[in-house]
Chain A
Amino acid sequence: MSAPQPSAEALVSVSNIHTHYGKSHILHGVTLHVGAGEVVGLLGRNGVGKSTTLKTIMGLAQPSQGEVKFAGRAVTGLPAHKLARLGMGYVPEDRRIFRFLTVMENLRTGLDRRGVTAQRKQELLDKVFAYFPVLAERRHQPGGTLSGGEQQMLAIARAMMLEPRIILLDEPTEGLMPRMVSQIAQIIGALHRDGVAILLVEQNVPLTLQASERIYIMEKGMVRHHCAASDINVNDEAIRQYLGV
């Protein structure tokens, strides 16, 4: 299938990026886009380069070729901290909570920015504590003492502190029990209603198809399939071909 053209109003558009780790060539020309407020799924087997795609968008891995645009502006090669301040939130697959910082301090890493009034900070905190009441209870506890599910919530809440226009969400349900998984699905829905775009990397195909508007499927460092989430179901041929075991 031919690579989809990024629409003019795409919030994030990635064109033909190639990324290497040392000598290994991981991404072989990935092209995709996410519209403002859109939830887009990115599927693929282990090791096909999904996380690397997110890292490249976030400025944590530098592509040797290709371009990343954010809100119409070329941002390829910008350091991650600038992208974060421009409104790109990142929730990595291993969560990467600051273990020795309290929950509150973890949130403050994104909240203490220039130009955020005390009132606005309080509103943002109230909002995430309403989404994740358990974080409010544990606000003075070191992040490393939280359970896996709580750490995942903290990782999402922390990204929300940046008031991002898009969140790059890497396998948020990995290793979580079913009740937590449905809670994460609800949060994705809530963020979507708030107008936050999400690029969702997941192994959980049903959840991805249900949460996303469009999906991309990757194989060997390339996007192989692209369609509306409603046009495909779990038993589809493409799913079986690229994701089946």
Chain B
Amino acid sequence: MSAILEIFAAIPYDQVLIQTVNGIVTGMILALVASGLTLIFGIMDVVNFAHGELFMLGAYIGVVVLATTGSFWLALLIATLIVALLGAALQIVTLRPLLGRDPLTTILATFGVSLVLQNYALWQFGPVARKIQEPITGSFQLLYLEYPWYRLLIAALSAAIIGALWLFLKFGTWGIWIRAATQDRVMAQAMGIPVPWVHTGVFAIGAGMAAASGVLFGPLVGVTHAMGLDWVLKAFIVVVVGGMGNLGGSIAAAVFISLLEAYASIWVSPAQAVIVSFVVLILTLLIRPTGLFVPTPK
């Protein structure tokens, strides 16, 4: 009895609160990255290895637009649109011809694209990290911490973008097309749905969402050509844990894993806390390979 009390007494509740907020903030941005990835996988069976580079490219376009216009919001909008268009072009040129081929070919194609984009960024912008100035700089008192409002804004904006995506999928004609083509590509086509263009559209949406997260996250980490790597790795873990192609599952998994990592960092260094996500990944693959957050296997 007293042992249990001691354990409860030993929990640093102040840090738990702070890490809960941190976990939700990173969880939401991760959910934004992962939902594009999972949407693309769900409809095309394509594992997009270039997703992290679309995230990075979004951040760089954000840097450039911010430098020329001075407006963060304009930077967010323009980066999203440009990368969405680029995504559409990439899909048409590299993935459309591979539809129905061995998944390995699409993995190689997107991996190739990621190398090209990364090296383009290195050549164009150099190795030194660029900074995106956050649009709001205030902070509030979270216990003994000065917690930046901007972090909460990121979480709220990510949630808003994901919510908009959900509404779009749920009610729009394109949403019905996307869901129909995800469930049965051939039958969707036989119903007159232009499936090749739906694929292009989904890839553009996913790319745009990656770019938006890159711009939103830029102020917290600095923009470099390699910034996509960490994120895409985590996003892959989230997509697998959430159930490949399952949007709701990915969002839940993103918040879940980010919270676990945040709590772990109370006791171990942040670098070690990263291990948590791999542990979750391995346990998922061992125990429930269809995904932790999938109610019934598809």
Chain A residues near B (Cβ < 8 Å): 58, 60, 79-81, 84-85, 90, 92, 96, 98-101, 105-106, 108-110, 112-113, 158-159, 161-162
Chain A contacts for B186, CB-based, 8 A:
60, 80, 96
Known: A60-B190, A81-B189. A99 touches B195 (CB 8 A): no
Do A84 and B176 touch (CB < 8 A)?
A: no
Number of A-B contacts (CB under 8 A): 64
Do A80 and B190 touch (CB < 8 A)?
A: yes
Chain A residue nearest to B182 (CB atoms) is A100
Q: Does B139 contact A (CB under 8 A)?
A: no
7 contacts between A and B (CB under 8 A): A79-B196, A80-B186, A81-B192, A98-B183, A101-B176, A101-B179, A110-B192
Instruction: Compute how far the CA of A110 lies from the CA of B173 in the bound complex, rounded to whole angstroms.
Output: 10
Do A98 and B190 touch (CB < 8 A)?
A: no
Do B191 and A158 touch (CB < 8 A)?
A: yes
Chain B contacts for A113, CB-based, 8 A:
192
Chain A contacts for B177, CB-based, 8 A:
109, 112
Do A162 and B192 touch (CB < 8 A)?
A: yes
Do A92 and B180 touch (CB < 8 A)?
A: no
Chain B contacts for A92, CB-based, 8 A:
187, 190
**Nearest Cβ on chain B to A228's Cβ, whole angstroms:** 30
Chain B contacts for A90, CB-based, 8 A:
190
**Nearest Cβ on chain A to B181's Cβ, whole angstroms:** 9
Instruction: Compute how far the CA of A108 lies from the CA of B173 in the bound complex, rounded to whole angstroms.
Output: 8
Do B183 and A112 touch (CB < 8 A)?
A: no
Q: Does B184 contact A (CB under 8 A)?
A: yes
Chain A contacts for B180, CB-based, 8 A:
98, 101, 105-106, 109
Q: Mark B170-209, 1 if CB is under 8 A from A, else 0.
A: 0001001101100110111111111110000000000000
**Nearest Cβ on chain B to A88's Cβ, whole angstroms:** 9
**Nearest Cβ on chain B to A182's Cβ, whole angstroms:** 27
Do B176 and A96 touch (CB < 8 A)?
A: no
Known: A60-B186, A80-B189, A99-B183. A109 touches B176 (CB 8 A): yes
Chain B residues near A (Cβ < 8 Å): 173, 176-177, 179-180, 183-184, 186-196
Chain B contacts for A158, CB-based, 8 A:
191
Instruction: Compute how far the CA of A159 lies from the CA of B173 in the bound complex, rounded to whole angstroms.
Output: 17
**Nearest Cβ on chain A to B44's Cβ, whole angstroms:** 16
Do A98 and B184 touch (CB < 8 A)?
A: yes
**Nearest Cβ on chain A to B267's Cβ, whole angstroms:** 41
Do B189 and A109 touch (CB < 8 A)?
A: no
Chain A residue nearest to B298 (CB atoms) is A100
Instruction: Compute how far the CA of A195 lies from the CA of B146 in the bound complex, rounded to whole angstroms.
Output: 74
Do A81 and B187 touch (CB < 8 A)?
A: no
Do A162 and B183 touch (CB < 8 A)?
A: no
Instruction: Compute how far the CA of A81 lies from the CA of B180 in the bound complex, rounded to whole angstroms.
Output: 13
The 6 A-B pairs at the shortest CB distance, nearest first, are namely A84-B192, A112-B173, A96-B187, A80-B189, A90-B190, A109-B191
Do B187 and A85 touch (CB < 8 A)?
A: no
Chain A residue nearest to B194 (CB atoms) is A81
Do A85 and B173 touch (CB < 8 A)?
A: no
Across the interface, B189 reaches (CB within 8 A) one of A79, A100, A105, A161, namely A79
Q: Given contact pairs A85-B192, A98-B184, enumerate 7 new A-B contacts (beta carbons under 8 Å).
A: A81-B193, A92-B187, A96-B187, A100-B179, A109-B192, A112-B173, A112-B176
Do A98 and B189 touch (CB < 8 A)?
A: no
Chain B residue nearest to A113 (CB atoms) is B192
Chain B contacts for A109, CB-based, 8 A:
176-177, 180, 188, 191-193
Chain A residue nearest to B174 (CB atoms) is A112
Chain B residue nearest to A109 (CB atoms) is B191
Instruction: Compute how far the CA of A96 lies from the CA of B188 in the bound complex, rounded to whole angstroms.
Output: 10
Do A98 and B187 touch (CB < 8 A)?
A: yes
Chain B contacts for A84, CB-based, 8 A:
189-192
Instruction: Compute how far the CA of A98 lies from the CA of B193 in the bound complex, rounded to whole angstroms.
Output: 13
Known: A81-B194, A81-B195. A101 touches B189 (CB 8 A): no
Do B176 and A162 touch (CB < 8 A)?
A: no
**Nearest Cβ on chain B to A188's Cβ, whole angstroms:** 19
**Nearest Cβ on chain B to A111's Cβ, whole angstroms:** 9
Chain B contacts for A100, CB-based, 8 A:
179, 183
Chain B contacts for A79, CB-based, 8 A:
189, 196
Chain A contacts for B184, CB-based, 8 A:
96, 98
Chain A contacts for B190, CB-based, 8 A:
58, 60, 80-81, 84, 90, 92
